[in-house]
Chains A and B, each alone.
Chain A
Amino acid sequence: MKKKVLYSLRSPYREQLDVIGFRFGHGKKSAAIVGAMRGNEVQQMYVCSRMVQELKKLEAKGLITEDHEIMVIPCINYYSMNIGKRFWAMDNTDINRMFPGYWQGETTQRIADGVFSKIQGYEYGIQLASFYQQGNFLPHVKMMDTGFASPELMKDFGLQFGIIRKPRPYDTTTLNYNWQVWETKAFSVYANATDVIDENAADEAVYAILRFLDKQGIISANTPPGYITKLIAESKTKQLRSEAAGVFKSRIEIGKRVERGDILGTISDPFDGETVSEIRSTVSGTVYFEYFAPLINSNTVCFKIIK
């Protein structure tokens, strides 16, 4: 393993920002794994740190295949993590909306460019992704449908679901999208939590990434058996939104199968406690996202169901 500073940025008032990468094996650029780009992505950083541990062990045993190199970047934006902000501490811009970056551009464009130049050219790119809303996801893998790589590859992660997303205009400046433009087969792995550590989901994400690398012949790893992944277009999943606002209580766990008409959660008046809304499933399927916060506004996505 080689620990390298991939990109540095000086601050007027803080220690220099050093984006650290851990390189395993050598030879062909096979896989790059990127963790936290936002200050609240603690779970994403944690999964990467666990990957560093696993790959260290595999490397020591000679189980990284000859002529394959793997890069792990646990955290790009620890400046924001250290002060409890989500986006770039100075100007609140999102590094994951700045790719492919520009070396003469603004600060976060330069960070994106500095990092992207080091993770370009890998055959596979895996980003530990998060969702902008508070909530828990069933661990799953997602890829943008740019036509570059086959969604079938998602099955090699052995997660329960692989979701295919049609890119929207605002996706065109994300790492995942630009990886694909520069011919890296890119995937987003969702490891349930964001600003807390969920050990079980982290285990599942680590095994999924190891499983994927093993299937591509990059490493030799023994992992618990995975699922037969069901591939589904994001547009075919069902989002249930709150029809009222107030105190939210979920009545279901992610991963559970529900039938049409089942009550998945309730919303009560924050002052008098009266139930103001019952959230019922409009389809039968598996819950793969649940909102997780005590208070909820109206029209908030509170459950996502794979039919």
Chain B
Amino acid sequence: MIETIATAALAVNENLNIQKRRIENGRSKKRLSLVTGTHGDELEGQYLAYIVGSYLDEHIDCLDGIVDIYPALNPMGIDSITRGVPMFDLDMNRVFPGSKDGTMIEMLCSMIVDDISGSDVCVDVHSSNIFLKEIPQIRMSVPTAPALLPYAKMMNVDFIWIHDAATVLESTLAHTLNTRGTKTLVVEMGVGMRITKEYCKQLFGGIFNLLKELGMWSGETTPVREPIVSEGREVGFVNSDAAGIFVPCVSFGETVEKGDHIGDVVDPLSSKTVEKVDAVCDGMIFTLREYPVVYGGSLLARILQPASGGAEK
């Protein structure tokens, strides 16, 4: 069943509609919400929504409960290849929890929160942006980790990043839902404006495993991988200091040692290498720049340090 959960009239003969598809079977009222498309340039979740929904359709007898799929919280953004909400250039994920009496976006955000609240688990799928590629990972703040970590481990991701809480992130959908008692896992994977089928299929396995663990799925599942958890590890950030074109010489997911050459920033006009980029620490490259043009400060890579000295080979 497809429902419009929030709507607002646009100026000329059109409504902005946020829709979900409810798939339900059996007696259980347990509910999993799969949410994506908050940022219009993040498309990995679109394919994931499709494969999860179609597999459930084909094996509906194995479902005992409710799966709500929200493929596009920011439909205008996806439709116009705009990260934020196009009419306002606002990052939708800085407007939650919204307000019933607020502006159009605040009202829509409020309706979204009301609709998802009460789910047993919500999976909020993001895919980095056009600049960076990420391995499938779940991110959570330190205060939410005790409640979320057991569920995150069920999700077949490679990495769980537990980061410090930041006040500005209190405006996100995940923070709002977690504050209201709906366990919400934020997935980051792949790269903006693209679909990485391999990652979508990996997370697909995680979602069905989660459904099984929640007692909502009696069908087949595949074993999930043991994620690396960032607890007790540091993350090294590699930022460009020069402006130019970044050309990496390592592969995404590769393990490096501090000082290893991982790429160059080159100047196409002078044909000079303007910066030799080295690893800032030992560890695994879990984020790598995808978009080549860089300024001073552009993030080139993130490296997850091993738990206790030395690179993990």
Binding site for B on A (CB under 8 A): 9-13, 86-87, 90-92, 97, 104-110, 132-133, 168-170, 172-173, 241, 244-247, 270-271, 295-301
Contacts and interface: CB of A to CB of B under 8 A. Distances in A.
Contacts of A13: 293
Contact of A10 (B8, B171, B243, B293): B243
Contacts of A92: 83-84, 89
A37 B61 CA distance: 56
Interface in B71-102: 83-84, 87-90, 94, 102
Contacts of A133: 88, 103
Given A106-B297, A297-B8, A169 B242 contact: no
Interface residues of B, number: 40
Contacts of A245: 8-12
B297 A109 contact: yes
23 contacts: A10-B243, A13-B293, A86-B89, A87-B89, A90-B298, A91-B129, A92-B83, A97-B168, A105-B239, A105-B297, A132-B89, A133-B88, A169-B169, A172-B168, A241-B103, A245-B11, A245-B12, A270-B13, A271-B12, A296-B11, A297-B87, A298-B104, A300-B103
B103 A12 contact: no
Contacts of A298: 8-10, 104
Contact of B242 (A10, A173, A241): A10
Interface string B272-313: 000000000000000000000111111100000000000000
A170 B294 contact: no
Given A295-B11, A298-B9, A298-B104, A168 B171 contact: yes
B236 to A, nearest CB: 11
Contacts of B268: 12
A11 B295 contact: yes
Contacts of B13: 270-271
B120 interface: no
Nearest to B94: A170
Which of B10, B104, B107, B298 is most buried by chain A, counting CB atoms within 10 A of its CB? B104
B11 A106 contact: no
Interface string B1-14: 00000001111110
A90 B107 contact: no
